[in-house]
Amino acid sequence: MRAMASAEEERLVRALAPHLDGGEEDARCFARDLPRELDLKDAYLDDAEGVAAIASHLPPTLQSLSLDSNDIGDEGAVAIAPHLPPTLQRLCLHY
């Protein structure tokens, strides 16, 4: 059984949910490996707005972030770049 979500995770889930077809349920599924990993591959984030919404909520201990197969464009990559923590070791932005 998984421990209760941290306040940090809850903030990210609330920011992400409006940008996913499955809302909060999908957001919780994608956030399951926080605080070290966030895999948003195929999350159907269709623009930079979704990425910008979560950018300031990335955990400071994040080591891996995948935004593969989302249509975030260059604007999304630029929006998230200043918020990437120094602990990040893996970043996937294939879009």
**pTM across the whole model:** 0.86
Q: What is the pLDDT of residue 5?
A: 67
Contact present, 22 and 11 (Cβ < 8 Å): no
* Span 23-49, average pLDDT: 90
- pLDDT tens figures, 41-83: 998 887 788 898 899 999 999 999 999 998 888 999 999 999 9
CB 90 within 8 A of CB 61: no
pLDDT confidence of 1, banded at 50, 70, 90? very low
DSSP bridge pairs for 39: 66
- Looking at the chain, the whole-number percentage of residues with pLDDT higher than 70 is 94
- What is the residue whose two structure tokens read 């591959």? 41
* CB-count exposure of residue 83 (10 Å: 0-12, 13-18, 19+): middle
